[in-house]
Amino acid sequence: MKISVSMYSLAATLNKENWSIIDFLYYAKSIGLDGVELLDFYWCNQEQEIKEVLAALKKYRLHVSAYDVTNNFVKGSTEERAEEVAKVEAGIQIAKRLGTRIVRVFCGDLHDNFTYEDGRDWIVEGLRSCARMAEQEQIYLAIENHGLLAGRSEQVEEIIHQVNSPYVKSTFDTGNFLLVHEEPQHAFDRLKNVIAHVHFKDFREKLPNESVNGFRSTHGVELIGAIPGDGQVDLAYIVNGLKSSAYDGWLSIEYEGDEDAKMANEEAVKRLRQLLI
């Protein structure tokens, strides 16, 4: 298994220090990483920056673990859903240029009183459409258990089963299951055979005297991003399970806490390396 860091994991630093994607790549190299996870919403001048990123990846001997598309198939109109399919298809082509075979995708977000049951058919329809190009290009669409819609392991499993493509898999986010009150170990046991990418993340419950804003769960519990190992996720269970499953892909750190992002990510890399020994 190989370690990468998501650019989103440095969000606070990007804003504070006005980092470019190239600055992020330099940072990744400076802490000895093998790879990076890039996201669609960080481009400013996409075509020019892709050329610069490819040159920097070669210079720093880094690989792209995954390319993340910020899509949402839970839209009320056919035209809107077609736009989301086009967004994912464009992401497949960018991933191919960046040299990764993983495109992280979402199912959709809760809004306008939609439920999972309301949006499920739209999600399956959208992913089936995208899967045609994914199969042709041999790029995996890896569904992240993100937010409060399709966040539970049985929902991710159901969608993958219904899409029925060998190129639609899971981005297993170790922390996000806590937002829907599912134990990450239980989710891992259900999804371990369909994992194509891993987000190495941790959360803890907000303390009564804390003023920092957290992420609110489906039951109204507020969770705070933690350095992996400082929260509630049994990360050793998941890493050991990945070893037993012969997973040989990327573990990508995604930190969403309030501590210094550079320090937090460097500590996360250190801890993950220890777990991989």
pLDDT at 35: 98
3-state class (DSSP) for residue 268: helix
Residue 150 backbone class (left: φ over 0; alpha: ψ -120 to 50; beta: rest): left
Report H helices in the chain.
11-17, 21-30, 46-60, 78-98, 116-137, 153-163, 184-191, 235-244, 261-276
pLDDT at 200: 98
pLDDT at 109: 81
pLDDT at 113 over 90: no
What is the average pLDDT value for the chain, to the nearest integer? 96
Taking the C-alpha atoms of residue 89 and residue 75, their distance in angstroms, rounded to an integer, is 17
What pLDDT, in 10s, does the model give residues 250-262? 999 999 999 999 9
- CATH number for 2-276: choose from 3.40.50.1440, 3.90.1150.10, 2.10.60.10, 3.20.20.150: 3.20.20.150
pLDDT at 43: 98
Cβ atoms within 10 Å of 135's Cβ, excluding its own = 15
184 against 150, higher pLDDT:
184
Question: Per mean pLDDT, which range of 90-99, 110-119, 135-144, 217-226 is the poorest?
Answer: 110-119
What ranges do the domains of the chain cover?
Answer: 2-276
In degrees, to the nearest 5, what angle opens at C-alpha 201 toward C-alphas 85 and 194? 50
Strands 202-205 and 222-226: antiparallel
> Percent of the chain scored above 90 by pLDDT?
91
What pLDDT, in 10s, does the model give residues 233-250? 999 999 999 999 999 999
Strands 35-39 and 63-68: parallel
What pLDDT, in 10s, does the model give residues 50-72? 999 999 999 999 999 999 999 99
